[in-house]
Every structure is written in structure tokens, then in C-alpha cells.
Structure 1
């Protein structure tokens, strides 16, 4: 990856370059503006989606009243509700700060805000939320299928994020970016879970009177199990496709520059 000679490197300034490696040579301003605009629009859409989701999901838990929880609270395990609330609140932090981490304008213009939001994403978001879900998942009312799905999500979410944090500390910014893309794909799975749930309820609805004997609760449970798995597996597959696609584009650009040189 080529760098501009007019910009200092990380060792000279004491500040890390943008995620993905040292600062890249800037394209002409006319070409850069549409891309920056698209990136900003994408981040705004993400933030609006996150705000809408949180406005719907958080209110029942703000009073810390177990009777208002949307998920059944099992008896005989007093730690369940505190762990659930920790997961929900810290997951909300991860969702909002993760959106900020994706904003290239913020990363370039306000690197200190980018770094602090990254620390909030890790220490105040994913780390406590991921640990909490490991305590909640085995007691999920969805049975073994849902329990395994939620546990696998946490088992991947935590190490992906830790790997990204370690890569940033070691100034391996390209690796940091790749791991954090994977981490954020899992962070947003809770939002896509609701989308897949609606899709699968619609898909299964014609079977309500036959396969489910009119039992809507059983239909919603099955739709929830499918959406629970699809929300994080599809997100992760899309993230990997996007990373591989970007890697191929970078390699083609390098070969083109080598030929031109």
C-alpha cells in the first residue's frame, strides 16, 4: 500500500494512522467527495437503525424490574436478570460506539474521539456484554438450539474483538480493521435478528393451521430459532465476503501501480 510523502507516519507523530494501515495517497478531490458522502450516509443509516432498535428494546429494562423483561426470567438462578441487563446495556454501548468506529470522517478528523470510542466499544461494550451472555445463554427459554446459537455467538464475538484490540495495540492496523469488521458484524446481529424474525414469521404463517395447529406461540418460537442462527451467521458471511472483496481490489490496485511504475 503506497503512502503519501507529505504525511508523517505513526512513529513521527505518536498517533496511529487510520485503521487499515498508514494513510493512503488521496484520490482527486472530485472522486473522493462522493465516496465520503456515501460513507457518511451509511453511518447515519446505521446510527438511525441502532437508535430505533434501542428505543424499542431498552425501556422495559430501564427500571430494573424483572417482571417487565421481554424474556422469561427462570426461577432458581438469581444472577440471570443482572446478567441479562448487563448484556443488554453493554451491548447497547457496543452498538452505538461500533457505528462511530466505522465513520471514516470521524477517524480522520477526530482521531482522539475514534480511539476513545474504540475503548468504550471494547471495555464498556463487547467485553462485559459477551461475558454476560455466556451466563445467560445456557438458560435460554428457546431450548438447546437457541442456547447453542447464543453461546456460539459469544464464543466468536469475544475473541474476534480481543484480537482486534490486540492488533491495534501492536499497531497492526490492517489486522485490527479486519477483526473489528468481524466483531461489528456480530454486534449488529441482534438488530438483524428482529428483521429475520419478521421474515420467518411471514414464511411460516401459511403453516399455522396445519403444521402448528393454530399455535402462534410455537410458530414464533420456531421463527425465532431460525432467525437467531441466521442473524449472526449471515452477518459473518457477508463481512468475510466484503473483506475478501476489498482485499482483491487492493491487490489489483497494487499490481496496476507496479505495472505503471
Structure 2
């Protein structure tokens, strides 16, 4: 196995773990919101759950399409499927863009309205949310012009930002375990760490595999 193939295998293992992490955490989150609304047992004000319960439609518009976005995006990057099932690849690409627009806009709104992590969270959600939407539009623009290499690069950038949300979960666990910083203070910091980490990894991979 050459170096590129090895790195690609490592990336796929990481992506799979992140997708599973997000699917499980999303199910738990939606189930918690539904339970609170159905039983009337509302969480205390000032907690992250309180913000979710007060905005159930926005949360569902972000979480459900977000899970589909990660699965749709993963399919797009499977080369054998892309090469053999080109028509499915194209239709799935349209779905990927649509889902991305939904979660990008809803993510920016969540950062502005919920703000559990304060202004630090809002800045991260807004800044990287705008970059995420820009990357999606650039990817679409390049594929329309049949600029396949550039399309691939912007798809990678968009997907890396989209899946960064899953990395926030283990980062939160690390802060809980190894620091005494209150949750609402480090929550916004985890956004910045996850988004920057994924952006850097994406750029390294793009440059390393650029033809």
C-alpha cells in the first residue's frame, strides 16, 4: 500500500467514526427535545438543552439534514461508486448541495439565536458557516464549468467543515475531563478548534493529492 492509499484509508476510518458519532449524538438530541416537549418537563433556563427545546423547528432543520449531508457527502467521495454510477453521483451531488445550503443557513441562525457558548460560538458559527456556504457554491460553479479538479477541492473543503461538528463532541468530553472551565465558556472554544482543525487537514490533503 503506497502512502496516498494509506492516508486515504486513515481518513476514511476517521470519517466513519465521526459520522457514527454524529448520528448517535443527533438521535439522543432529537429524542431529548421530543421527550421534553411531549412531557412538559422543560430543561432549566441557561442550559444548552433549553435553547434546543425553545427552537425545535430550527434544530430539526439543522440536525436531520445534517445527518443526511454527511452520508450523502461520504457517498460522493467513494471513487468506485462515483466512476461506475455516474448518474447517481450527479443526482446525489445535487442533494448534497441542497442539504448543505439548509444546514449552513440553519447553523448560522443557531449560532446567532441559541448562543449557549456566547459571542465566541456566534463568531465561529457565522464565520465558518459563511465559508461553508461559499465552498458549496464554488463546488457547484466549478462542476457546471466541468472544472473537475477545482470542483473536487471545494467539495472537500465544504465536507470538512460540515463534518467538523462531529469533532466538537469528543472535544467537549476532553474539556469536561481535563479542565475546570464551565461548559458555557469552553463550548464556543470547541467550535473554533474543530473548524480550524478540519480546515487545516482539508487544505493539507488537497495540496498533497493535487495533480
Interval containing the TM-score (normalised by the shorter chain): 0.7 to 0.9
TM-score, scaled to structure 1: 0.67
1:173 aligns to what?
Answer: 148
1:243 aligns to what?
Answer: 206
| Residue among 80, 105, 119 paired with 1:131 | 105
2:183 aligns to what?
Answer: 220
Of structures 1 and 2, the one scoring higher in RCO (CA 8 A, sep 6+) is: 2
Q: 1:150 to 1:197 in 2, by over 3 A?
A: same
1:105 aligns to what?
Answer: 80
Return the offset for 1:235.
Answer: 0.5
Q: Deviation string for 1:74-111 (max 9, x for gaps)? A: 89xx7x33122101111111111111111111111221
CA contact (8 A) 1:47 1:96 kept: no
What is the Cα-based RMSD across aligned positions, in Å?
2.8
**SS in structure 1 of the partner of residue 83 of structure 2:** helix
**SS in structure 1 of the partner of residue 49 of structure 2:** coil
TM-score, scaled to structure 2: 0.81
Q: 1:106 to 1:54 in 2, by over 3 A?
A: same
Q: 1:86 to 1:72 in 2, by over 3 A?
A: same
2:34 aligns to what?
Answer: 65
CA contact (8 A) 1:130 1:154 kept: yes
1:195 aligns to what?
Answer: 170
Name the CA distance, whole Å, in 2 between partners of 1:114 and 1:40: 21
Q: How many residues align?
A: 200
2:40 aligns to what?
Answer: none
2:124 aligns to what?
Answer: 149
Return the offset for 1:142.
Answer: 1.6
Correspondence 1:53 to 2:22:
yes
Unaligned runs of 5+ in 2: 38-42
Q: 1:233 to 1:52 in 2, by over 3 A?
A: closer
1:230 aligns to what?
Answer: 193
> As a proportion of its length, which structure holds more helix?
2
Return the offset for 1:42.
Answer: 4.9
Q: 1:62 to 1:185 in 2, by over 3 A?
A: same
